[in-house]
Amino acid sequence: MIDKVVVHPKNRIVFVAVCGGIVFVVAGLVFWLFITNRLVWNPSDGVVSDKLNSASACGAGIVDQYNAAMNYVIRDGSDLPSVDEKGVKQVVADIKATRGYQEDATCQTMLYLAAVQRSDYEGASAAAAVVKKLNGQGIFPNNNILGIEPVLTFDRTLNTISPATQAAGSDGK
């Protein structure tokens, strides 16, 4: 025979009271966290607005222009994909004409990558120094930049285009 479990009304009342007490304590704890500013509501709709690109001189438009110029595609009837050299020069000119580009991580990262693409060691070094400084302050570039690399690899990349490396390569050493 199967025994039926009988739940007494008294047990139900105790169960509901315990659950209600737990909910009350948790709600009180959350309320206390809010009023003491240990928990803060930030209705940002998923957009991070800390130091990350909050006042970027180089916005999405210039990043899109840069990405289009630096994208390796077949151009001008060539059989091989290439970078749009004229487009890259125009983007660099546009960035340098933008107010505040000298202290903007996004602008400087694009200048760094464009200089690396041209093997311009001095230009890349100058932009890399600014990006590293801003990175140390917690200010980061837009992550949608085509070919972006971690700041930790900048020195290795700069070494590959340095005059000493270029001279050693041309001497056949």
Number of compact structural domains in the chain: 2
- 46 within domain boundaries: no
Q: What percent of the chain has pLDDT over 70?
A: 84
Mean pLDDT of 16-27: 93
- 22 within domain boundaries: yes
Query: Looking at the structure, do residues 36 and 81 belong to the same domain, yes or no?
Result: no
Q: Has residue 157 got a pLDDT over 50?
A: yes
- 162 within domain boundaries: yes
* Burial (Cβ within 10 Å: 0-12, 13-18, ≥19) of residue 105: buried
Contacts of 99 (CB under 8 A, 6+ apart): 57
Q: How confident is the model at residue 44 (pLDDT cuts 50, 70, 90)?
A: very low
To 10 degrees, what angle do helices 121-136 and 154-161 make?
170
pTM for the model stands at: 0.65
Q: What was the pLDDT predicted at 74?
A: 84
Query: Looking at the structure, do residues 35 and 66 belong to the same domain, yes or no?
Result: no
Query: Looking at the structure, do residues 150 and 123 belong to the same domain, yes or no?
Result: yes
Of 3-17, 31-45, 54-68, 76-90, least confident by mean pLDDT is: 31-45
Q: Domain of 89? A: 60-167
Query: Looking at the structure, do residues 163 and 86 belong to the same domain, yes or no?
Result: yes
Query: Looking at the structure, do residues 29 and 103 belong to the same domain, yes or no?
Result: no
Query: Looking at the structure, do residues 79 and 2 belong to the same domain, yes or no?
Result: no
Query: Looking at the structure, do residues 86 and 126 belong to the same domain, yes or no?
Result: yes
Angle at Cα 45 formed by Cα 42 and Cα 50, nearest 5°?
55
- 47 within domain boundaries: no
Q: How far is CA 24 from CA 17, 76, 92, 141, in A?
A: 10, 70, 59, 44
Query: Looking at the structure, do residues 31 and 85 belong to the same domain, yes or no?
Result: no
Q: Has residue 152 got a pLDDT over 60?
A: yes
Query: Looking at the structure, do residues 138 and 107 belong to the same domain, yes or no?
Result: yes
- 54 within domain boundaries: no
80-108 pLDDT per residue, tens? 888 899 999 999 999 999 999 999 999 99
Query: Looking at the structure, do residues 76 and 129 belong to the same domain, yes or no?
Result: yes
Q: What was the pLDDT predicted at 150?
A: 92
